[in-house]
A and B are shown apart, each in its own frame.
Chain A
Amino acid sequence: MKVSIEVNGNAVTEEVEDRTLLVHYLRENAGLTGTNIGCDTTSCGACTVLLDGESVKSCTVLAAQADGHKVTTVEGLRGEDGDLHPVQRAFREQHGLQCGFCTPGMIMASVSLLAHNPKPTRDEVREGLEGNLCRCTGYHNIVSAVIDASGQEVGQ
């Protein structure tokens, strides 16, 4: 079937198998490999992207379901001037990443979290990111990064 998705502002139209997952469409058809796959049970969140502005785990969305919709991946976060998105900047500043594999999904989930709750507490960040797994950081600095990105003082 033919699927058309606006990915990071660019129209992508491809003929794909009906069962194609959105994450594979992004990686194989749109050529954007920033979005990673870390599991097969919708548990890890490495594949988190924004679908019409809401975070989804793209391993559990069919490309066909995103037909005609807008998707934002980590590659599409930077501003037109090339500046880092506040969440990207904060992840680097707070050392919220180590191996980087969970990072694109973690950043996208954080962007979504802040859209719903612009000034979260540390506990609220932990609750909000419960669906995104990280094996390297122990989450402490990820929480700090989201607090930083929200414009709040990082007390920890």
Chain B
Amino acid sequence: MSIVGTRVVRIEDQKLITTGGTYVDDLREPALTGAVHAMFVRSPIAHARIASIDTAEALAAPGVVGVYTAADLDLAPRKAGPVVEPWLAADVVRYVGEPVALVLTEHRYQLADAAELVDVDYDPVDVVASIDAALSDETLLYPGKGTNVMQVNGTAEFPADSFDGCEVVVTQTIVNQRVAPAPLEVRGAACAWGEDGRLTAWLSTQNAQLARGAVAKGLGVGEEQVRVITPDVGGGFGAKIGSDPEPVVLGWAAKRAGRPVRWTETRSENLTSMTHGRAQQNTVTIGGRRDGTVEVFRLDVVQDAGAYPRALFLPTLTELMASGVYHFPKIETRSRGLVTNTTPIAAYRGAGRPEATAAIERAMDLYATEIGLDPAEFRKVNFIRPEEFPYKTKSGANYDSGEYAQALDKVLDAADYAGLRAEQKRRREAGDPVALGLGIASYVEITGGDSGGESGRVDINPDGTVTAYTGSSPHGQGLDTSLAMLLSDQLGIPMDRITIKHGDTDEVPKAIGTFGSRSLQLGGSAVRQAAEQVIASAREIAADLLEASPEDLELNAGEGAWQVKGAPASGSIDWVRVAARAGEGALSADVWFGEGTPTFPFGAHLAVVEVDTETGKVVVRRIIAADDAGPVINPLVFRGQRHGGLGQGIAQALLEIMAYDPDGNPTTATLADYSFITATELPDFELVDSATPTTRNPLGVKGIGEAATIGSTPAVHNAVVDALAHLGVRHLDMPTTPQRVWEAISVKGEAK
């Protein structure tokens, strides 16, 4: 029986549970002996001109090796969208947390003392701390641009008559609040220049090779002059894609100081200086017939890109996925990406798709409420049907496969939806102060959306063991285990004889890495293709050993042996002997899998919440989820990815917000203030199986890393609104904190 599809505990875990992983701050490499420690001095003000920087006192502090400012740097300019983002701020600071100076000291404990002595004289100027303030263009972050809007995409002006003839039109502006990715391991780097003139940078990143490119470009050296190594990485969630500006400055400083440099940011620094996610304000308008047929959907996206618009692809990705799982005849979208005096926005688990899903799924509930139809029934009227795939949406996405109604039905059945609705009715009639709410979200998302391909290399070593190199860069996803399972299945070699390597640009020179849930469908397909090539080479050697014709042989993957087709009794030869005969390097294939096109995982979630109408407190009682990403390699890690997505998705609906006051001061900048979700705020998760393959890669798989995040946020959000529907509440924005819920109830109470 094949190991693929069975529950296999992870090969990654032994180290992680006994000695702990080796994260950047844990490195004790000889090359880092004598390293100095680094800390960035960051702006405490959201928007200011820098009048002067005095480093004299800091330079005289104990243990200080160097203090550097923009005036010291000689680096190539770095672009963030259409503007230049300074490595260290020179004339202007544009958000709290922006780096202004770098301090190097002998010992870690000297850093904060010295950094405090760097005297920066700021002249504060007017602050743009909200989307509305940015849209007014009264204060500009980049006066030379003439506007705070850095990108407009889609329909410039919506037609006035789009909804003419609709029996029902519902519109709502929905805030998809800014959240902090907050991986448990903050950002870190260690940089050492070798005697050969090459820089080795150990980075906590999702993409060693992209980071190598960014570091080399920033330093103005060739890529071959930079080696990036990712040790164990303690979570990324999109916020560790490639390289942030800091590693470039650290690499430069290591050269200037003539010493290796180590950097680990603090958590409070991380919460203002690592990119944030989401931060959209979306206006939906949905029109159609009273029988539940939607005719027109309009999505107007406003993306707060933060002070430096590093990720303007996000709002256009939201546009691409605007219509979700529905067969809408007409879609209109527009997005504007604008700058504010806040931390830059970039990818965060889902990255553009959660925002699209949240918008359409709130719109669907608003419409269902308006026409008095059950939200589940209403969705089914508008789903894209299985026979319509592949389905090209009006916003330009080319969906591969989907069973949207089936996924929803599975969830409704598992939950006993009818029973829950009956309970809700009973409790409302009885005047229960604890209100029951049911929220549905049906979703589709895009994985491997970059279509960039991935590398894979498989070596069968002379002792018959396997070493595989993947361009993917896992950091918790269990990909080592999944790839080892695939290879074991394909080659017939036991998993304990297979080693998976990644994350060293000298070992894996060409790769893209991990984001957008691309690893299995692209990285997995690459490794599979490499193994196929190795099998082809091995066939020749086995034929030689068996004195048979290569085309007469077959690999018996169950036995891990080559044998004559149809006549296994006539002799077989195992991998150890084939590998020994082949010798070093003969059984090796290095491939670039470039033909994989985007896939579209989908699913349905039902959230069951209870809202205490006297206090506003929301408790998620149940979440029932179907997440379909095609065939499952390892149900253990597949379910784990869904669990993690559920946790983060529910967190956004209930609790998490990275908030700023009107002066641009972050008010949730420590983990004591930021409502990072805990074990007590989450229920046990109820998972429903669904597996619809795709034809767009040889494994038939789609990505699962982000899917459950995307479904769970609007499911919980809809459930909270549903719980309050009988009190007249039609919408409230996330996070649905007790205060917001209580206020929403109170406003309605006063209105009565």
In the assembled complex, B9 has its CB within 8 A of some CB on chain A: yes
A31 to B22 CA separation, bound complex (whole angstroms): 13
> Knowing A91-B17, A93-B9 touch, does A137 contact B643 (C-beta < 8 A)?
yes
The answer to whether B676 touches A38, judged by C-beta atoms less than 8 angstroms apart, is no
**A92-143 contacts to B (CB < 8 Å):** 92-93, 95, 97-104, 107, 122, 125-127, 129-143
Question: How many Å lie between the Cα of A126 and that of B678 in the bound state?
Answer: 8
Chain B residues with CB below 8 A from A40, complex form:
266-268, 670-671
Residue numbers in B under 8 Å from A100 (CB-CB): 12-13, 15-17, 20-21, 232, 234, 476
Residue of chain A at shortest CB distance from B684: A156
Q: A39-B670, A125-B679, A138-B682 are in contact. Are A74 and B644 (CB under 8 A)?
A: no
Instruction: Give the distance in Å from the alpha carbon of A142 to the alpha carbon of B17 in the complex.
Output: 13
Q: Which residues of A contact B10 (CB under 8 A)?
A: 92, 95
Q: Report if A99-B475 is in contact (Cβ < 8 Å); known contacts: A24-B108, A139-B679.
A: yes
Q: How far is A20 from B267 in the complex, measured between Cα atoms in Å?
A: 19
Residues of B within 8 A of A22 (CB): none
Q: How far is the CA of A28 from the CA of B35 in the complex (A)?
A: 14
Contacts of A39 in B (CB 8 A): 267, 670-671
Whether a CB of chain A sits under 8 angstroms from the CB of B186 is: yes
Which residues of chain A come closer than 8 Å to B678, judged between CB atoms? 129-131, 133, 139
Chain A residues whose C-beta falls within 8 Å of the C-beta of B639 in the assembled complex: 95
Chain B interface size range: 35 or more
Question: Which residues of B lie under 8 Å from residue A19 when comparing CB positions?
Answer: 109
In this complex, what residue of A is CB-closest to B678? A130
The answer on a CB contact under 8 Å between A102 and B184 is yes
Question: Quick one: CB contact mask for A1-45 with B, threshold 8 Å, 1 for yes?
Answer: 000000000000000010110001001100101111111111110
Residues of chain A within 8 A (CB-CB) of B184 are 36, 38, 44, 46, 99, 101-102, 133-136
B676 CB to closest chain A CB (Å) equals 5
Contacts of B698 in A (CB 8 A): none
Distance to closest chain A CB from B655 (angstroms): 13
Residues 597-638 (chain B) with a chain A CB within 8 angstroms: 636-637
CB contact under 8 A between A140 and B643, given known A100-B232, A133-B678, A135-B237: yes
Residues of chain B contacted by A38 (CB below 8 angstroms): 184-186, 267, 671
Nearest CB to that of A144 among chain B residues? B684
Indicate with 1 or 0, residue by residue over B213-240, a CB within 8 angstroms of chain A CB atoms: 0000000000000000000111101000
**Known A35-B20, A99-B476: A141·B185 in contact at CB below 8 Å:** no
B638 CB to closest chain A CB (Å) equals: 10
Are the C-beta atoms of A98 and B644 separated by less than 8 Å? Answer: yes
Please tell me if the beta carbons of B476 and A43 are within 8 angstroms of each other in the complex: no
Task: A46 to B186: give the CA distance in the assembly, Å.
Answer: 12
Q: Return A152 CB to nearest CB of chain B, in Å.
A: 14
Question: When A135-B182, A135-B237, A142-B679 are in contact, do A74 and B19 touch as well, CB less than 8 Å?
Answer: yes
A35, A36, A43, A141: the one contacting B676 at CB < 8 Å is A43
Helix, strand, loop or mixed for chain A's interface? loop
**Count: A-B pairs, CB below 8 Å:** 188
B640 adjacent to chain A (CB < 8 Å): yes
Asked if A69 is an interface residue, CB under 8 A from chain B, the answer is: no
Q: Which of A35, A42, A74, A139 has the most CB of B within 10 A?
A: A139
A118 to B373, CA, bound (A): 50
In the complex, what's the smallest C-beta–C-beta distance from A107 to chain B, in angstroms?
Answer: 7
Find out whether the CB atom of B17 lies under 8 angstroms from the CB atom of A92. yes
Considering the complex, give the chain B residue whose CB is closest to the CB of A28.
B108
- Whether B313 sits at the interface, judged by CB under 8 Å, is no
CB of A41 within 8 A of CB of B647, answer no
Chain A nearest Cβ from B624, distance in angstroms: 13
Least Cβ–Cβ distance between A16 and chain B, in angstroms: 10
Near A by CB (< 8 A), chain B positions 643-683 give 643-648, 650, 670-672, 676, 678-680, 682
A41–B268 touching, CB < 8 Å: yes
**Cα A142 to Cα B648 with chains together (Å):** 15
> Restricting to B135-184, which residues have a CB under 8 Å from any CB of A?
182-184
Contacts of B232 on A, CB cut-off 8 Å? 99-100
Using known A-B contacts A92-B14, A103-B16, A135-B183, determine if residue A41 contacts B267 with beta carbons closer than 8 Å: yes
Name the residue on A nearest B20 (C-beta): A34
Q: Does A88 contact B (CB under 8 A)?
A: yes
Cα A90 to Cα B478 with chains together (Å): 17
Which chain A residues lie closer than 8 Å to B25 at the CB level? 27, 33, 37
Question: Which residue of the partner chain, among A74, A125, A126, contacts B18 with CB atoms under 8 Å?
Answer: A74
A137 to B636, CA, bound (A): 12
Additional pairs, 17, CB under 8 Å, beyond known A99-B185, A133-B671: A33-B22, A38-B184, A39-B267, A43-B267, A84-B18, A92-B14, A92-B17, A100-B15, A100-B20, A100-B234, A101-B184, A101-B234, A103-B16, A127-B679, A130-B679, A140-B643, A140-B682
B interface, CB within 8 angstroms of A: 9-10, 12-23, 25-26, 28, 108-109, 182-186, 232-235, 237, 264, 266-268, 475-478, 636-637, 639-640, 643-648, 650, 670-672, 676, 678-680, 682, 684-685
18 A-B pairs with CB atoms under 8 Å apart are A27-B25, A38-B267, A40-B268, A44-B267, A92-B10, A95-B639, A97-B13, A98-B478, A99-B233, A100-B476, A103-B21, A134-B184, A135-B182, A136-B184, A138-B645, A139-B647, A142-B679, A143-B684
Which 6 pairs across A and B sit closest by C-beta, in order of nearness?
Answer: A138-B647, A34-B20, A101-B234, A99-B476, A100-B16, A98-B476
- A interface residue numbers (CB < 8 A to B): 17, 19-20, 24, 27-28, 31, 33-44, 46, 74-75, 77-78, 84, 88, 91-93, 95, 97-104, 107, 122, 125-127, 129-143, 156
